[in-house]
Amino acid sequence: MATAAASKLALRSTAGTYDHVFFSAMAILMAITVFVGFAPSYYLRAFGDRPMVTIGGLPFTPLFHLHGVLFTAFVVLFIVQTTLVASHRVAVHRRLGIAGGLLAVGMTLVGTVTAITAVARGSVPPGMDPPVFLAIPLSEMLLFAIFCAPRCGCARTKRRTKG
């Protein structure tokens, strides 16, 4: 009996280790992908001699910068959250999850307003019809909100009913 319990514990700790490595690596890989993708158009523009402009050639507004800050904060929060779980600091991870929920709400609102504002200013990719362009970020914001919504309260309910 003790051997079976010990082998289950060993199996669980090994599986958890691989999970921690996987999710931490994915968080870092996601951050690298975001940085590489947005470095030429946003992150590194401040250090070059090219102006900070949108795809349509219009200058960035404070709203566009707020959008960049919130979405970058989400990527940083993802790395922090995976690191907290990997280091077995789950209580801090859960408390920080509340801030993550508020950040997700802010991202959804600011992302939607930014998309509508961009189209109203005529800042769409060349050759793209503005309503078609607007459908992309609006559907992304809707999906993001749907994917984040269950994390805001359902996880606590599941935990209570398990035990």
Among 107, 106, 116, CA closest to 61: 116
- 20-56 pLDDT per residue, tens: 788 889 999 999 999 999 988 888 887 877 778 777 7
The residue extents of the domains of the chain are 2-162
Report the alpha-carbon distance of residue 99 to residue 62 in Å, rounded: 22
| Residue 49: predicted pLDDT | 79
Answer whether 0.95 is exceeded by the pTM: no
